[in-house]
Structure 1
């Protein structure tokens, strides 16, 4: 069976001081789908794109990486302007639409479902996320969620936190960054943030911390995954690469989390960190292929 990814596909307009704007395919869920396809997973992406040049570019780009895209192209494709700092980090400004047609995947059966980012919070498409996660629960698919918090888009903290916790309580795997965790739970330390998400019902939590070790935790084990040292082109797609690695490696593991050893969690973290390192070593969300050395 395939993996279903639900979420936005858009064009990143990358701006850096002294350089012309660079246009690149992006959107966190689309990047996750792209990464899964490149790692050899069979993957479907339910998304919303325009029938313009940018939409056609996105569809071709995803399909070249083995992603089966389900969308009814119309109107203008969403964009995200990423402004790069000298250290390669990025801040975003979005122009978005999120209204996917879930009937396009009515006949699907999936080993795993991943949802996240803006698509998990933004109406009307958030209703499709809920319905498909409910289908996944009924069919015992592995359910994964990355909030990829964008405060300027997802609304007030209280309502966004409630939405995050509702989704985190329904899935098996939650991956988030330290920036996400601090926005959601600003008064808590790392251990408390992880425990809170595990207490909501998630079976595995992965918390990435930029240039510091990532933390991967279940109710019975906790490990730190060292970040690989590379020359950083930019950080675009790093978290998405980490997420796609987790989904790829865990897609058949829904009933096994409580029994996972520290060694198994270490291997998950090593794989995800290695793949994310490939991504940050080159410009844009250029996630690794399975055939690449080190991927």
Structure 2
């Protein structure tokens, strides 16, 4: 497929408010607000890798929505398919543990990201994307989740479908994800899971056994990201372990989103997106996954979801 067709990313923008000590020992807390949200992070990382990227989101007209627009546009993301929304933006307050992991509390009731209608999403079909990536809360929060699933069905005949459930158990009961996951697998050419997702969706189940379940439901290429322990790849009945590069972790915010961007970027650069991914070689898969781990590691080395701007001139594996 021609590499000139863009990658489209659908989902939420979230204002990530990081807790910091107040100045001069004043009472209370100080919040440093950065643009985030899993799908938005992936779109930014893709565009910074020079992949033509369209973001499909409902962007509030409030102060955070203006922040999102500026951030996405500055990274080179095409916003033509976004909807101007009157509802407020979603806010997540993140506290960081000593190991750099983040613990979130969400303020997401009635916010802009979840109010999709079929008419609003109709514009997304005009993008003619080689790949549509979505996931996170966009696939489970009503009333828009059903409309998003309908869009995936509509574009699947000509677009590769990539899904990252990105389970948020404090905001949505994991049982909701479990109920919908077989439908997502039936649509997904690429399914990305983290160790945390796996523990929520299939507690006590070995990653390899979980991969078999997802393949049986229809997913073609499954990648399970395991932080410093690398990535488990499952495809066509075979497994591969790809190690993670060493990194001095500042925090892990946006690392999984950056990994997905790196993976999709390499597949796109090799002209492999646009279909069902049923003819990949292991060399192509390993190349794309390894590049994803490099982008994730670079994101872990800085504060917040701030993926690198990388010279993408090096060719992907043919």
Deviation, 1:211, is 1.4
Structure having the higher Rg:
2
2:205 aligned residue: 188
Contact 1:10 1:49 in 2 (8 A): no
SS of residue in 2 equivalent to 1:169:
helix
Structure-2 residue corresponding to 1:158: 175
User: 1:238 aligns to what?
Assistant: 255
- CA gap of 1:221–1:253, structure 2 versus 1, over 3 A, is farther
Partner of 1:144: 162
Secondary structure, in 3 states, of the residue corresponding to 2:7?
Answer: strand
Q: Distance in 2 between matches of 1:134 and 1:27?
A: 24
Q: Does the CA-based 8 Å contact 1:223-1:265 persist in structure 2? A: no
Which deviates more, 29-38 or 249-258?
249-258
Q: How many residues align?
A: 292
For the residues of structure 1 that align with 2:278 and 2:154, how far apart are their CA atoms? 23
The range that moved more, 240-249 or 55-64, is 240-249
Cross-structure match for 1:170: 187
> What TM-score do you get using the length of structure 1 for normalisation?
0.92
**Contact 1:222 1:262 (8 Å CA) reproduced:** no
**What is the DSSP-based 3-state SS (H/G/I as helix, E as strand, rest coil) of the residue aligned with 1:114?**
strand
Could you list the per-position Cα deviations for residues 41-81 of structure 1 after superposition, in whole angstroms to 9, with x for gaps in the alignment? 11111112221111101101001111122121323211111
Q: Which residue of 2 aligns with 1:11?
A: 15
- The residue correspondences of 1:1-295 to structure 2 (distance < 5 A) are 1-16=5-20, 20-69=30-79, 70-96=82-108, 97=111, 98-100=114-116, 101-138=120-157, 140-155=158-173, 157-251=174-268, 252-254=271-273, 255=275, 257-291=277-311
Structure 1 unaligned blocks of 5 or more: none
**1:132 Cα shift?**
1.6
CA offsets 1:237-280 (integer angstroms, 9 cap, x no match): 10000111122222442557444333322212210111111100
Structure 2 runs not aligned, ≥5 long? 23-28
The 1:196/1:181 distance shift into structure 2, 3 A limit, reads same
Distance 2:312 2:266 in 1: 17
- Give 3-state SS (helix, strand or coil) of 2:197's partner: helix
- TM (normalized to structure 2)? 0.86
CA distance in 2, matches of 1:271, 1:20: 36
- Range moving further from structure 2, 89-98 or 12-21: 12-21
Per the TM alignment, residue 154 of structure 1 is displaced from its structure 2 partner at its CA by 2.2
